[in-house]
């Protein structure tokens, strides 16, 4: 029997013992070695799961890396013992997001396995805990890509949790030096500083608009003075961020929302109209995961700095509590 983390009801998550389903000719079984806790995992727990039938469960965990222990007869290019990263967006069973399999487990079945699609090779010498960062770092890269940044542009990233920190990592790696990180947690802002941002701002302690004017300069929209920032990225999801940005944004600035909003937020469209600000969203990582994995040998050390805590699978419920605190960045579950 394997262990698997399941949501039973709102706030009720348990490490259950369940049988591995019988894998078919097109399936692969991965012995999970490491799996990171995602903010969506915490949201699913608050919601009582997703696509959960009455009396059923929602298995969670999707940021996983491990070794192949079973290969179906119709699967090509995959060998026993192969070290792989699971791309959950490409799994037909929606691993960790409402399907029958989750990756906080000893073994997970990847249905209709395809190397280069839902299974990706781990570069030589990369430990499993770094490999398991591929999924959140791909989310972060996609958010940055959606901003369509041009050389020399200034950026503000709201939220220094794992996704926001990943965005700061990619911005620094691409040579953007005018990046400001915003968060209300001093612990998270310290992590942002370690990634080499221009400045950090805690809006509970100082005026964000005035600080950005000092850092990025000013502009004018009709008779109103604006902040000179080119691009804003929302990885925080606080309900005031959108209206605050619209109120300070310069002419034809851009904003990317990658945070998950569970409730509607107000938007001052009249002000936005005068600035011609462009607003877009980013979700998942349609093409980015291979690029993230290719960068791992070069950026392994800085990627490792995103991991704040390690827990064994036996202690995964306690780890979820830590992941919900500002003192954490990426909380990694070590399965074996």
Characterize the bridge pairing of strands 58-59 and 28-36. Answer: unpaired
**Contact yes or no for 132/335 (Cβ under 8 A):** no
Helix H or strand E encompassing 187: helix 186-194
Class of domain 139-281: alpha beta
159 Cβ contact partners less than 8 Å away, ≥ 6 residues apart:
182, 183, 234, 235, 236, 237, 259
pLDDT tens for the chain, residues 1 to 336? 999 999 999 999 999 999 999 999 999 999 999 999 999 999 999 999 999 988 899 999 999 999 999 999 999 999 999 999 999 999 998 999 999 999 999 999 999 999 999 999 999 999 999 999 999 999 999 999 999 999 999 999 999 999 999 999 999 999 999 999 999 999 999 999 999 999 999 999 999 999 999 999 999 999 999 999 999 999 999 999 999 999 999 999 999 999 999 899 999 999 999 999 999 999 999 999 999 999 999 999 999 999 999 999 999 999 999 999 998 999 999 998
Q: Which among 37, 60, 63 has a CA at the least distance from the CA of 47? A: 60
Nearby residues of 319 by Cβ (< 8 Å), 6 or more positions away: 37, 309, 311, 331, 333
CA 239 vs CA 235, 247, 249, 260, 328: distances in Å: 12, 14, 17, 11, 22
Q: What letters, b where the CB count within 10 A reaches 16 and e where it falls short, cover 129-146?
A: bbbbbbbbbbbbbbbbbb
What are the domain boundaries of the chain? Answer: 2-133+306-334, 139-281
The residues, ordered by sequence, that sit 6+ positions from 267 with a Cβ below 8 Å of its Cβ are 242, 243, 246
The whole-model pTM stands at 0.96
Helix axes 162-173, 186-194, angle to 10 degrees: 20
Residue given tokens 């692969």 in the structure block: 28
CA angle in degrees (0–180, nearest 5) for 177-261-279: 50
Distance from C-alpha of 193 to C-alpha of 203, rounded to nearest angstrom: 16
140 in helix, strand or coil?
helix
Domain 2-133+306-334 fold is Quinone Oxidoreductase; Chain A, domain 1 (3.90.180)
CB distance 146 to 173 below 8 Å? no
Distance CA 148, CA 218 (A): 21
């Amino acid at each position: 029997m394997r262990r698997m983390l399941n949501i039973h009801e709102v706030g009720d998550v348990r490490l259950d013992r369940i049988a591995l389903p019988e894998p078919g000719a097109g399936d692969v079984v991965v012995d999970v070695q490491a799996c990171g806790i995602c903010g969506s995992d915490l949201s699913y727990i608050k919601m009582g799961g997703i696509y959960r039938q009455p009396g059923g469960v929602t298995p969670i965990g999707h940021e996983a890396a491990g070794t192949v222990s079973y290969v179906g007869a119709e699967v090509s290019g995959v060998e026993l013992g192969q070290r792989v990263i699971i791309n959950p967006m490409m799994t037909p069973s929606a691993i960790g997001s409402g399907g029958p399999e989750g990756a906080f487990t000893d073994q997970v079945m990847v249905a209709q396995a395809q190397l280069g699609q839902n299974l990706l090779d781990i570069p030589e010498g990369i430990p499993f805990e770094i490999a398991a960062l591929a999924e959140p770092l791909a989310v972060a890269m996609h958010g940055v890509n959606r901003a369509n940044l041009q050389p020399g542009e200034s950026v503000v990233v709201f939220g220094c949790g794992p996704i926001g920190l990943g965005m700061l990592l990619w911005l620094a790696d691409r040579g953007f030096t005018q990046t400001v990180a915003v968060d209300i947690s001093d612990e998270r802002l310290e992590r942002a500083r370690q990634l080499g941002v221009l400045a950090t701002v805690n809006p509970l302690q100082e005026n964000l608009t005035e600080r950005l004017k000092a850092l990025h300069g000013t502009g004018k929209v009709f008779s109103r003075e604006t902040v000179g920032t080119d691009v804003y990225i929302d990885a925080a999801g606080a309900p005031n961020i959108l209206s605050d940005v619209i109120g300070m944004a310069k002419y034809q600035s851009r904003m990317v929302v990658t945070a998950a909003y569970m409730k509607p937020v107000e938007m001052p469209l009249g002000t936005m109209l005068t600035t011609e600000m462009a607003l877009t969203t980013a979700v998942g990582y349609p093409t980015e995961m291979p690029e993230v994995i290719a960068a791992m040998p070069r950026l392994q050390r800085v990627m490792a700095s995103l991991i704040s805590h390690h827990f064994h699978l036996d202690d995964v419920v306690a780890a979820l509590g830590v992941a919900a605190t500002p003192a954490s960045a990426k909380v990694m579950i070590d399965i074996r």
